[in-house]
């Protein structure tokens, strides 16, 4: 037997808003859930971006510390005419194979001018770093290359015995020797790297000094 719905009952059923209220509540919950997920996602993204920026800054600082160490090695080598023994060793700034390698050039020869623009490099396959150190979670490796020598205005050149191409100004403005220091900091946990290169002009007359050019 079929159910007969009167026109009045049918009209009352269509005016019933209980179902619409339930749909509205469901839609509101769905929208709030979506907004919550979006907020959590944005917060996580911002945290990752902040962490990445901090890691980048820390890597740059680690590489910059290598630049400072390289400058100090150059200055001390110019003063003593060789890389100081206190700097050389497995756990020291200059790796043993950089200064005591059986195959030249040694770091002393590079700094003093017997091997300008040496093709060695600090990282990668076949690398032979001149500087190796740790800075927090970073492993830092660097290379020192003597680029060229430039006579300063009013200076004369006198070549130091035993080091062909190594010039010291004996009067006037002396000479500037240009060096490039190339350092790469590697985050040990992830392998992420930061590389900094700097060029210094060093004067070896009346006291050694180096000034950063680039």
3-state secondary structure the chain: CCCCCCHHHHHHHHHCCHHHHHHHHHHHHHHHHHHHHHHHHHHHHHHHHHHHHHHHHHHHHHHHHHHHHHHHHHHHHHHHCCCCHHHECCCCCECHHHHCCCCCCCHHHHHHCCCCCCCCCCCCCCCCCCEEEEECCEEEEEEEEEEEEEECCCCEEEECCCCCCCEEEEECCCEEEEEEEEEEEEECCCCCEEEEEEEEEEEECCCEEEEECC
Give the pLDDT of residue 20.
62
Q: How many of the other CB atoms lie within 10 Å of CB of 123? A: 18
Give the pLDDT of residue 29.
83
**For each of the chain's 214 residues, which pLDDT tens digit applies?**
455 555 555 555 555 555 566 667 777 888 888 887 877 777 666 666 655 667 778 889 999 999 999 999 999 999 899 999 999 998 899 999 899 866 678 999 999 988 777 777 788 887 889 999 998 899 999 999 999 988 876 555 444 434 444 444 433 456 889 999 999 999 888 888 899 999 999 986 555 789 999 8
Give this prediction's pTM. Answer: 0.68
Domain boundaries, the chain: 28-212
Give the pLDDT of residue 196.
94
Task: Provide the token pair at 105.
Answer: 């050039």
Give the pLDDT of residue 118.
78
Please state, in angstroms and as integers, the Cα–Cα distance from residue 36 to each residue in 4, 29, 32, 44, 49, following that order.
48, 10, 6, 12, 20
Give the pLDDT of residue 192.
83
């Amino acid at each position: 037997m079929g159910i007969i719905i009167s026109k009045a009952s049918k009209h009352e059923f269509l005016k019933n808003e209980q179902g619409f209220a339930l749909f509205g509540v469901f839609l509101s919950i769905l929208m709030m859930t979506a907004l919550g997920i979006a907020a959590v996602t944005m917060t996580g993204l911002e945290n990752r971006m902040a962490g990445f920026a901090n890691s980048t800054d820390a890597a740059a600082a680690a590489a910059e510390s290598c630049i400072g160490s390289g400058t100090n090695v150059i200055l001390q080598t110019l003063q003593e005419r060789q890389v100081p023994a206190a700097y050389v060793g497995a756990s020291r700034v200059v790796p043993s194979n950089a200064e005591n390698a059986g195959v030249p050039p040694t770091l002393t020869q590079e700094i003093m001018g017997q091997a300008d623009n040496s093709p060695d490099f600090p990282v990668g396959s076949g690398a032979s770093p001149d500087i190796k150190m740790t800075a927090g979670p970073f492993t830092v490796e660097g290379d020192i290359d003597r680029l060229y020598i430039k006579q300063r205005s009013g200076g004369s050149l006198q070549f130091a015995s035993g080091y062909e191409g190594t010039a010291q100004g004996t009067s006037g403005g002396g000479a500037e020797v240009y060096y490039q220091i190339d350092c790469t900091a590697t985050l040990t946990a992830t392998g992420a790297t930061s590389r900094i290169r700097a060029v210094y002009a060093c004067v070896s007359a009346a006291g050694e000094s180096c000034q950063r050019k680039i």
